[in-house]
Amino acid sequence: MNSFALFTDASLNPKLHLGAGACIVVPAAVLEQPAESIEASAMVELLRIQRFEDTSSTALEVRTVLWALEEYRMKLRDFAPAQLRLYCDSQCVAGLPGRRAALEAASYVSRAAGRPLKNAPLYRAFYELHDQLGFNIIKVAGHTRPAARDTVHRIFAYVDKEVRRALRSML
């Protein structure tokens, strides 16, 4: 079975409700290489950027993951079923699998306000893709010092840097 790593990150301008999402898909074997062998020029070809409008930070993080998972599915549609690890720094995304039972039991309705959760459609779509693809989520510590970066952190730092650059160019 093939294994892949999907890195996602997002950057938001909260005043404009405008965001950018970025993703990179690499074979899991790349993560076994020394960090210093991962070059930005090699990542350029793999990087995908998406613009998101009328969004909040939570919605942007989930929307970016949903878009990235669809990118992953399109890119690898000719491969046999694969094991996927999703790397992101979003506490919300990393916590969604653990929140699923409670969200579904409450029918995606806020206990405090008694109204449907604003991001309920995104959460449902996330769980649907999670069921279909069976991916594991690995929460990455964002903004690590360069000296402390392993291969995962080096790739993630590149995605983080480029998504922030993309958002600046959209403004």
Sorted by where each begins, the domain ranges of the chain are 2-97+137-170
CA distance 104 to 16: 32
Question: Is pLDDT above 70 for 2?
Answer: yes
In tens, the pLDDT along 94-111 reads 999 999 999 999 999 998
Q: Which CATH fold topology does 2-97+137-170 show?
A: Nucleotidyltransferase; domain 5 (3.30.420)
Q: Is the pLDDT of residue 82 over 80?
A: no
Give dist(CA 85, CA 57) in Å, integer. 22
60 CB burial (10 A radius; 0-12, 13-18, 19+):
buried
Q: Say which amino acid occupies 46.
A: L
pLDDT of residue 36: 86
- Read off the pLDDT of residues 3-25 as tens digits, 9 standing for 90 and up: 899 999 999 999 999 999 999 99
pLDDT confidence bin for 34, thresholds 50/70/90: confident
Instruction: Output the average pLDDT for the chain.
Output: 90
Q: Is pLDDT above 60 for 30?
A: yes
- Using CA of residue 1, residue 46, residue 88, residue 130, what is the dihedral sign? negative
Q: What is the pLDDT of residue 146?
A: 60
What is residue 59's predicted lDDT score, i.e. its pLDDT?
97
Q: Are the beta carbons of 27 and 3 closer than 8 angstroms? A: yes
Backbone angles phi, psi at 90, to 5 degrees: -80, 120
Residue in 51, 40, 70, 75 with CA at minimum distance from that of residue 156: 40
Mean pLDDT to the nearest integer, 42-54: 93
- In terms of pTM, does the model score above 0.95? no
Spatial distance between the Cα atoms of 148 and 127, rounded to a whole number of angstroms? 33
